[in-house]
Structure 1
Amino acid sequence: MSATTLTQSPSTSTLAPFTFPSSNSIQKEETPITLEEHEKPLNWPTRKKGLTLAILGSYTFLSAFGSTIMAPGLTKMAIFTFHFTSETTGAFLVSIYLLAYAIGPLLLAPLSELYGRRPVLNGSLLFFTVFSIACALAKTTTQMATFRFLSGLGGSAPLAIGYASGTEIYVPAQRRTSGAILALGPLLGPVLGPVVGGFVTYRVQDWRWLFWTLSIVSSVVCLSGIPFLPETYEPAILAAKIRRMHTSSSEGQVSVRNHLLHSFTTPLRLLFTSPIVFLLALYQAIIYGQLYLFFVIFPSTFEQTYHERIDIASLNYLAFGIGFLIGLVCLSIMIKVAWARAKRSLPANVDPEPEVWLICLLPAAIILPIGLFLFGWSAHNHWHWTLPALSSFLFALSLLQIYMSSTLYLAQAFPPQTSASAQASLMLFRSLLGFASPLFGVKMFEGLGVGWGCSVLGFVAVCVGVPGSFGLWRWGRWLRERGEKREKREGHVRMVSEKDGVVENVVELVMRGEQRA
């Protein structure tokens, strides 16, 4: 469609939050209200897009950075402040952050579709900063767990909404680079968190400075990002324009309660009715849980097996970071080649099928368990420390390619009005398993040892990843088409009607106004 359009109505009222004309007012339209070409996010100048992407990337990095920065300080917390003796309690304080990751998107994703991406992202970042400060002041285990959960709620917004915002400012051919930048934050953040945390714990000898450091970084991101982050959601931009022109109608006002109720269930519905979403969510959940389990067992492996100091042991996390960076380069090259090859046989105005984004999924699904097996048995047999580091590199390289391929594929396989909810489905499932993995994983490694413990993880990754990756590559298009037919048949996109009062999706309202104009 050439323009996002809404019609002008004679009556005016305040938008709360998006106010669109009812079906009657659309029929009585006088003047169509459209966004100019330069107002659309896809047509923004390159500099503005770059600034927006940089801010979104800093938000996602900060959230993931906060998830693991406390890991090296758990021993000092247990001994000097909270006086717990169970390793499971320490793992719980780390992983409860991820439980908030699972819950937050169910509310924040639909809120961003009502109020726009900008206010939800900025408000959540402030919320995250406040409770990061509260963590530094916590005096009991209960307070720490509560504040960690609340800071995780604030931190969940960039991960749930950031990808949707990134796809709203770049055309599909450019999303390879933008998606890579946004994916680096959630992957590099958990890696650099323990590195910084290890040095702070060793040099300062006070675990509270882990959270003071996080709060300082978060405050800097707030000051540099909040004033400059523009709105990327086109219906929100249009609604703001209508508000400025005072032309909105009180008729057909979108019900916040009903919209939230409908949107709250959308990620759950997609998770259990779409084979694509379920499979990708399951696979991401498995590897995400394995990643956070690594962060719990990693320090003890190098401190106890290789007798390294905590600050030196934390440097081994950099193997993950190097793996992520090289994996990103490989992914970018392979997708670029696959995209160009698929594009040759298509008209200039037609993009390749979304399955082109899955080019790296199967190779990565094979490499990832190799890294798990190598880490487990090299540490079990006390082989040279470079072998566990190398296996961490292989694990990270393949994890990034799986994570990026599945996330970008999902963004292309679903329409914009459900993209944020589809991403929330992935985040819900992977965060729940990420929360649970350190809790049962610590006991598993205590019982089986690092060798067989990593082997169990490797076998699970093989059984799910290899057949699932091949299945999506081979039958992904058929599954997408089947899902689209089911959506049309079941009528999940609701329309505003004076007869039944059902709430219309914001995007569909805008499209309907354009068609009638």
Structure 2
Amino acid sequence: MEKAEVEEKVTPFPVVNSSSSSSGSSTHDTISLASNHDDNASSPTPPDQQEYAVVSFSPNDPENPYNWSMKKKSILLLCATLTCLNSTMGSTIASANLFPLLSAEFHVPVGPQSVLPASLYLMGFCFGPIIFAPLSETYGRKPILVTGFLLFVASTAGASVAPSWWSFLLMRFLCGTFGSPPLSVFGGVIADCFGDEVQRGRMLMVWSASTFVGPLGAPVLGGFVGGIWGWRWVFWIALIFAGVTLASVLAIPETLAAKILKRKAERLNKEEPREDGRRWVAPAELSQKSVFVTLKTTLLRPLELLCGEMVVVLTSLYIGFIYSVFYMMVQIYYAIFVGVYGFSPGVSGLLFTIIGLGTIIGCFICWWCDPVTLRLSAKHPTKRAEYFRLPLACIGGPFFVISILWIGLSARSDVHWAVPFIATVPYGIAYNIMWVAMINYVADAYGIYSASALAALGTTRSVAGALLPLAIEDMLKALGIAKSCALLAGISAALAAVPLCFVAYGDKIRAASKFSAALKIEGQREEAALGRTMSHISAV
């Protein structure tokens, strides 16, 4: 009788833990923000009215991505890097270096249309993250990555055989749309696998570096291969690379804990059914909703973050602008080294890759500064998040401004070409450390919903990267190289105040965040539910 009373107080549907997780450890981050939209979500109902047993991870469970070997995680990171190289390489593969060949093939006049192949690709980047990233938080990372990349390969093949300018542009848009999942979903994958924030930050830094290398190598490919064999060969080589990378995407394991536990419950029900008739279920099944409600919640999440989270809004503005400056620099470099110094398009693209050296140096700087930022954040526990991630962004902002001015003001025929060329190294360093710092700050703030937060950033970044470079040709004609760079540097200087603002007021901004408050409440509910479950287990 006493046991029955305990069960009744605990839950109307008695819950016990799986035998594989007798410690009571719960899966990391299985909460849902559906309670923001549905008042009844706080009282989850099981799939049916029978008694059931909840599956969770034991402390050293090998199925828990946190417990995977470093070798397995490194292979996963390599897959993420290769996939992002493919996606980002496509953004500049049809840049200024290749457009003369496209213009001759499709009879397109030189002018604003020269940036359409890159801009439409980035427009695809706008829509893709909003759809794919939140779905990966509900249905798993692997299905979204595999589906997206298969369609990306197909779209790349379509671009390589496009019979007309408009069909080529359509394929470019589809390439961007289906090439976007790695840029947001893999951020969630890394968060799934690396629990330690220092290690997670370093892995995100390595992954982020691949998003810089891809756009740098594509202009070289377009300049040299296109000039020798034609523009279609450029896309065929990209297709071969994508095909090889597809094998790694197909081989990656699922990393979303909720999906892994659901599969574990299904396996236990099939292979190890309980003698008492109780059915194994995953924690995510306790609050299972209709497909329509799930899709509505997950697809709106990035927009909810983008419209209601000051951290996401300000970071999106900053990241979006410096990202668009990167694509403007592709055009500016062409104007400098082809227009001013008379180099070939291929050599111009090769010189642009020096930004990659700055990116690599920036990675080492971020790595070396981890111990410093850890000590700094320990001294400021109320602002730990800000002092742990943002000091480098505060330093990188001014250097970014200086490097743009350096490039623009030194790009003259009476100045040796090496002077603006050398400036690309500090530009690459500043760009990388700002990017890594801000991305890590957002990823830390939103946990397993980092994929949606990164999707919100990716959307605004891609909108800016698609639209702002459309003005670069007219801006260069009207203002010239020096004044155009000065204008970009001035706007960058104003936006460099964003990380400083977070350092000064970040704790207050996060405290006023409705999303963060809801996330905290859901976490407390999850802990309370686990406590009730454990009380029931010990009582039974």
Superposition TM-score tier, normalisation by shorter sequence: 0.7 to 0.9
Aligned length: 482
**Cα offset for 1:25?**
5.9
- 1:378 to 1:62, Cα distance in 2 relative to 1, 3 A: same
Q: Structure 2: how far apart are the matches of 1:231 and 1:24?
A: 24
**Cα offset for 1:352?**
4.6
Q: Structure 2: how far apart are the matches of 1:323 and 1:219?
A: 29
Of 155, 165, 170, the residue aligned with 1:131 is: 155
Within a 5 Å distance, the mapping from 1:501-516 to structure 2 comes to: 514-516=530-532
**1:354–1:413 CA contact under 8 A, matched in 2:** no
Comparing 125-134 with 378-387, greater Cα deviation is found at 378-387
- 1:515 to 1:109, Cα distance in 2 relative to 1, 3 A: farther
TM-align CA RMSD = 2.8
Of 311, 314, 325, the residue aligned with 1:276 is: 311
Q: Which amino acid aligns with 2:480?
A: G
Q: Structure 2: how far apart are the matches of 1:251 and 1:444?
A: 56
Q: Which amino acid aligns with 1:440?
A: A
Is residue 332 of structure 1 aligned with residue 367 of structure 2? Answer: yes
Q: Structure 2: how far apart are the matches of 1:510 and 1:482?
A: 22
Q: Structure 2: how far apart are the matches of 1:474 and 1:404?
A: 20
TM-score (norm 2): 0.83
Partner in structure 2 of residue 469 of structure 1: 499
Q: Could you list the runs of 5+ residues in structure 1 that have no partner in the other structure?
A: 7-20, 496-506
Q: Which amino acid aligns with 2:259?
A: A
Q: Structure 2: how far apart are the matches of 1:101 and 1:425?
A: 11
Is residue 33 of structure 1 aligned with residue 55 of structure 2? Answer: yes
**Cα offset for 1:40?**
0.8
**Cα offset for 1:376?**
1.1
Secondary structure of the 2:26 match is coil
Q: Which amino acid aligns with 1:361?
A: A
Q: Structure 1: how far apart are the matches of 2:101 and 2:144?
A: 35
Deviations 1:94-115 (A, max 9, x none): 1111111111111101210121
Partner in structure 1 of residue 450 of structure 2: 419
Q: Structure 2: how far apart are the matches of 1:115 and 1:5?
A: 16
**2:198–2:370 CA contact under 8 A, matched in 1:** no
Q: Structure 2: how far apart are the matches of 1:181 and 1:5?
A: 24
**2:54–2:280 CA contact under 8 A, matched in 1:** no
Within a 5 Å distance, the mapping from 1:134-283 to structure 2 comes to: 134-170=158-194, 171-204=196-229, 206-223=230-247, 225-246=248-269, 247=279, 253-283=288-318
Q: Structure 1: how far apart are the matches of 2:401 and 2:56?
A: 52
**2:53–2:280 CA contact under 8 A, matched in 1:** no
- 1:377 to 1:24, Cα distance in 2 relative to 1, 3 A: closer
Q: Could you list the runs of 5+ residues in structure 2 that have no partner in the other structure?
A: 1-23, 30-42, 270-278, 534-540
**Cα offset for 1:256?**
2.3
**Cα offset for 1:342?**
3.7
Partner in structure 2 of residue 74 of structure 1: 99
Bigger Rg over Cα:
2
**1:125–1:155 CA contact under 8 A, matched in 2:** yes
Q: Structure 2: how far apart are the matches of 1:494 and 1:361?
A: 31
**1:110–1:263 CA contact under 8 A, matched in 2:** yes
- 1:336 to 1:125, Cα distance in 2 relative to 1, 3 A: farther
Q: Which amino acid aligns with 2:267?
A: R
**Cα offset for 1:381?**
5.3
Of 76, 86, 97, the residue aligned with 1:62 is: 86
Deviations 1:258-280 (A, max 9, x none): 22222222222212221111111
Q: Structure 2: how far apart are the matches of 1:3 and 1:253?
A: 18
**Cα offset for 1:409?**
0.7
**Cα offset for 1:45?**
1.1
Secondary structure of the 2:112 match is helix
Q: Structure 2: how far apart are the matches of 1:420 and 1:493?
A: 18
Deviations 1:115-161 (A, max 9, x none): 10011111111111110010000111110111011111111000011
Of 512, 515, 526, the residue aligned with 1:487 is: 515
Within a 5 Å distance, the mapping from 1:278-427 to structure 2 comes to: 278-343=313-378, 352-380=384-412, 382-416=414-448, 418-427=449-458
Q: Structure 1: how far apart are the matches of 2:64 and 2:351?
A: 44
Partner in structure 2 of residue 458 of structure 1: 489
Comparing 469-478 with 228-237, greater Cα deviation is found at 469-478
Q: Structure 2: how far apart are the matches of 1:454 and 1:344?
A: 39
- 1:217 to 1:211, Cα distance in 2 relative to 1, 3 A: same
- 1:248 to 1:149, Cα distance in 2 relative to 1, 3 A: farther
- 1:251 to 1:43, Cα distance in 2 relative to 1, 3 A: closer
Partner in structure 2 of residue 500 of structure 1: none
Of 31, 36, 45, the residue aligned with 1:23 is: 45
**2:146–2:250 CA contact under 8 A, matched in 1:** no
Is residue 432 of structure 1 aligned with residue 463 of structure 2? Answer: yes
Deviations 1:169-225 (A, max 9, x none): 112121132011110111111111112222212232x100111011000001112x1
**Cα offset for 1:382?**
4.3
Comparing 357-366 with 295-304, greater Cα deviation is found at 295-304
**1:284–1:426 CA contact under 8 A, matched in 2:** yes
- 1:457 to 1:344, Cα distance in 2 relative to 1, 3 A: closer
**Cα offset for 1:512?**
7.5
Q: Structure 1: how far apart are the matches of 2:78 and 2:383?
A: 26
**Cα offset for 1:310?**
2.1
- 1:46 to 1:24, Cα distance in 2 relative to 1, 3 A: closer
**2:377–2:384 CA contact under 8 A, matched in 1:** yes
Deviations 1:293-352 (A, max 9, x none): 111232232112111122222211122111111111112212332114545898xxx995
Deviations 1:43-84 (A, max 9, x none): 1111111111111111111110111122221111101x1111
**Cα offset for 1:257?**
2.1
- 1:511 to 1:142, Cα distance in 2 relative to 1, 3 A: farther
Secondary structure of the 1:308 match is coil
Within a 5 Å distance, the mapping from 1:112-131 to structure 2 comes to: 112-131=136-155
Q: Which amino acid aligns with 1:421?
A: S
Secondary structure of the 1:31 match is strand
Q: Which amino acid aligns with 2:154?
A: V
**Cα offset for 1:288?**
0.3
Q: Structure 2: how far apart are the matches of 1:142 and 1:5?
A: 47
Q: Structure 1: how far apart are the matches of 2:456 and 2:373?
A: 27
Partner in structure 1 of residue 123 of structure 2: 99
